[in-house]
Amino acid sequence: MSMTPTNLPIIPRIRKNAILTLLAKGTRVDERSFEDHRAVNAELGIIPNANGSALVRLGHTKILAGVKIELGTPFPDTPEEGNLIVNAEFLPHASPVFEPGPPDERAVELSRIIDRSLRDIRAIDLSKLVIIPGRRVWNVFIDIYVIDYDGNMIDASSIATLLALLNTRVPTVSIDQNTNEINIQKNNYQPLPLTKKVVTATLAKITDENTGSRYYLIDPSLEEEIISDALITIAYSEDGVLTGVQKSGVSSIPREDIPKILEMTKKLAFKYLEKIKEISSVSYSG
Amino acid sequence: MKVRHREIVAPGDIIAEGEFKKKSYPNMILYKNKLLSTILGVVEIKSEEELKISPLEGSYIPQEGDLVIGIVEEINPTYVYLDIKAPYKGVLQASEILGRPMNPLRDVLSDYVSIGDVFLARVERFDLLRDPLLTIRKEKGLGKITEGVLIEVNPTRIPRIIGRKSSMLETLTTETGCDIVVCTNGRILIRRCPTPDHEEILIKAIRIIESQPYIRGLTDKIKEYIAIEKVKRGLIIGSS
Amino acid sequence: MGVHKQIIRLITEDGVRIDGRKPDQLRPIRMEVGLLKNADGSAYVEYGNTKILAAVYGPRDLGTKHILLPNRAVLRCRYHMAPFSTHERKSPAPSRREIELSKVIREALEPAILVENFPRTVIDIFVEVLNADGGTRTAGVTAASLALADAGIPLRDLVAGVAVGKVQGILVLDENEKEDMYGEADMPVAMMPSYREITLLQLNGVLTEEEFNKALEMAIEGIMKIYGMQKEALKKKYVEYEEVL
């Protein structure tokens, strides 16, 4: 059962008003412009036991994405495809309001947003992950760990996921002709068949009840997210098509704001993709 | 005005457009230059300015001064909680029950009240920040109910059961001879009916009002109904 | 989603869909309000073979005070599919999809409810899918909205929803399950029509920006029709009366 959140961190009215005053003047609390996302830093391949991994910092939000490739069986209706499974966890370390226990609905939502963004555009070519058609395939497990929550977990997770996938190596297998036994060759890897780069771009909608003004902020910080009344996330592939949309939060989005939202998210997504390209090329140089 | 008197409206329906004097109207929202209904209800247009929507559904929300019937649900050391058919529980303090300040060393509330006891009370104070405070001492007739039949009706029908200037309630009382206490929270206490038949007719009449609250001339129709029923049961002689 | 072997011809060149509908045509819709005795509000809605039963309890207090909010009502919303509602029996335990949709539906209704009128209370909304044939969450929002109005809970507006799909390149309104499963995109939308405010918006699949905009317009047209039906369904109980006397 989903419930209106009752344990969110509280922002005192004075602080909220200060933030709104700044917004009215066209600036954000951390002195960013309305066009800037926070600094993105990443470390790739830091988990030796994972097939691919990335630790991403977006401002103070820290996400660790780990990819494990394991032998599996295909689903009955997709016998010639590997499987993609995306999971997300909010570690209790990440925020005073995250409690240990079964996944929070937001973690479930997050994992499904990331999953859909990749799956429907076939960003990972699952047909290239078949070992024995109908019998043995590779399962790609993406586990997203939120380890520090300072706003915009969705985009940070999406960036971490993409970097981890770019960093992922799939073992090579050989099949014994006689016994049909699968031998996983040590130290012989190929990159994951990633056909398209996809990333999410999230805006927070903040309403000033006194003036009625609405602001859409890209890459919201924690404070901005807490005082926002809705989030809108749009996933874009590098060729500019939409591969996912999710409105979340307790407020509504005026229909007339949609064109502006499309414009802002697309710009942001491409900024992220640029940054990801930069980061991943640095790692692979040489 | 976009609607007629006595029209049924739903949330989001436009009631009127234009300039409005007041900033807020109960059960309506002002959006741009339109008044929209927020509930399923009946529009009552008394004049250009006097516009009202009577809810057809909804729970009882206590207001100070309301006469209510509450049922004891929980007994705490210094007060009891009453179910008053509202999203908030009514609070009846020990001093109200005992009629004197409570002595925590000697008085045990459960000696004086039990779960399920019925009380007729007034809402003394309610401000949404705390549970409504009830009183049974400030007027005669309030207190524990020990006789009679209790029926529950949709609280939104209570104004219709009372009627304009109590016309409906008077008709019910006069025609059935029963003692009727109608409470704002959708509970009605019926006592001292001349015969069980009278009681049955009264309850049936109340149910009819409850299901057809907006019919014109309902009061006369109810008077007629009661008369016919009385004849049917041989309570009065008349042409049937 | 994403099964791209198009063995099924979902739509002809003339735009006729497998159930005979045109691309911008809704399925037959049925709505009934106030059918449950105990719930404070209830509604039953059908979009074709998708059948939803919604119930609302509240505002009510809960006894345990610690989950309540001091200045508004808390909403609790459960979207659940009956085990017999799908082709293959679905386990009664909540799936991740049901967890996400419970949140999405709650957030689609919250903007419409005047929650500040009932501090320290809970409003419970239960959406049960009795038969699933595509569009369950939007039919669910539509039904829940009727149940809320039936419970007498004040609303800024009713919320009406419908999904738009893309099937073999063509945008279609109110897709059924086959169209959803074998199509290229599924976009559920819900709105408060009197304010033109969108309360539910998701995209599952791939659309260009142009397709997205067209699909949104198509959804809004469908929503306006469904909104009209909701109003009728609510008023029906009172407008058609029989003389009992």
pLDDT digits (tens, 9 = 90+) for A32-48: 888 889 999 999 999 99
Residue B237 in domain? no
Q: CA distances (Å), B180 to each of B121, B166, B194, B230, in order? A: 15, 12, 12, 18
In C, minimum Cα distance to B223 occurs at C245
Residue B3, in any domain of the structure: no
Whether B76 and B24 map to the same domain: the answer is no
Closest partner residue to C192 (CB to CB) among A242, A247, A252 is A252
Q: Which pLDDT does position A8 carry in this prediction? A: 80
As beta bridge partners, residue A44 has: A54
A67/A51 Cα distance (integer angstroms): 6
C-alpha distances out from residue C132 to A248, B75, C47, C144, C235, Å: 24, 47, 10, 16, 27
Residue showing tokens 């104070």 = B125
Are C219 and C189 in contact, with CB atoms under 8 Å apart?
A: yes
Within 8 A of B13 by CB-CB distance, chain C residues are 231
Domain assignment present for residue B238? The answer is no
Q: Phi/psi at A122 (nearest 5 deg)?
A: 55, 45
Q: What is the predicted pLDDT for the residue at A225?
A: 94
User: Would an 8 Å CB–CB cutoff place C157 in contact with chain A?
Assistant: no
Nearest to C234 among B40, B61, B211 (CB): B40
Last residue of a domain, one of B95, B110, B144: B144
List Cα–Cα distances, A52 to A69, A108, B136, in angstroms: 9, 22, 72
Tell me: do B123 and B95 sit in the same domain. yes
Residue B198: inside a domain: yes
> Considering the entire predicted model, what is its pTM?
0.91
Residue (of A255, C122, C72, C112) closest to B29 by Cα position: C112
Least Cα distance to B97 among B84, B107, B86 occurs for B107
Same domain, B131 and B154: no
- Quote ipTM for the complex: 0.89
φ, ψ of residue A214 to 5 degrees: the values are -115, 140
In terms of domains, do B101 and B126 share one?
A: yes
Distance, in Å, from the CA atom of C106 to the CA atom of C126, rounded to the nearest integer, reads 10
Q: What is the largest CA-CA distance in chain A?
A: 76
Contact between chain C and chain B (3 or more Cβ pairs less than 8 Å apart): yes
| Domain-terminating residue out of B94, B128, B144 | B144
Closest Cα in chain B to C151 = B58
Query: Within 10 A of B163 (CB to CB), how many other CB atoms are there?
Result: 17
B213 lies in some domain: yes
Domains, chain C, ordered by start = 29-236 (3.30.230.70)
Q: Which of C202, C212, C213, C223 should one mutate to test binding to chain A, selecting the residue with the greatest count of A CBs within 10 A?
A: C202
pLDDT category, C241, cuts 50, 70, 90?
very low
Q: Looking at B144, B179, B197, which one is the last position of a domain?
A: B144
Q: What sections of chain B are H helices per DSSP?
A: 94-98, 158-162, 167-176, 196-211, 218-232
Superfamily of domain A13-281: GHMP Kinase, N-terminal domain (3.30.230.70)
pLDDT digits (tens, 9 = 90+) for A108-145: 999 999 999 999 899 999 999 999 999 999 999 999 99
B155 and B217, same domain (yes or no): yes
Any domain includes B2: no
Residue B220 lies in a domain: yes
Q: Tell whether B140 and B156 lie within a shared domain.
A: no
* B27 and B85 assigned to the same domain: no
- What was the pLDDT predicted at A6? 86
Which helix (H) or strand (E) segment holds residue C127: the answer is strand C122-131
Residue A251 has its nearest CB partner, among C96, C103, C111, at C111
Check whether residue B178 and residue B222 sit in a common domain: yes
Cβ atoms < 10 Å from Cβ of C181: 17
State the total domains in chain B: 3
Percentage of residues in chain A with pLDDT exceeding 90? 76
d(CA A137, CA A106): 30
Mean pLDDT computed over C168-182: 94
The answer to whether C84 faces chain A, any CB pair under 8 Å, is no
Contacts of C58 in chain B (CB under 8 A): 59, 87
For residues B88 and B160, state if they share a domain: no
Structural domain span for residue B168: 149-232
Low-confidence ranges of chain B (pLDDT < 50): 240
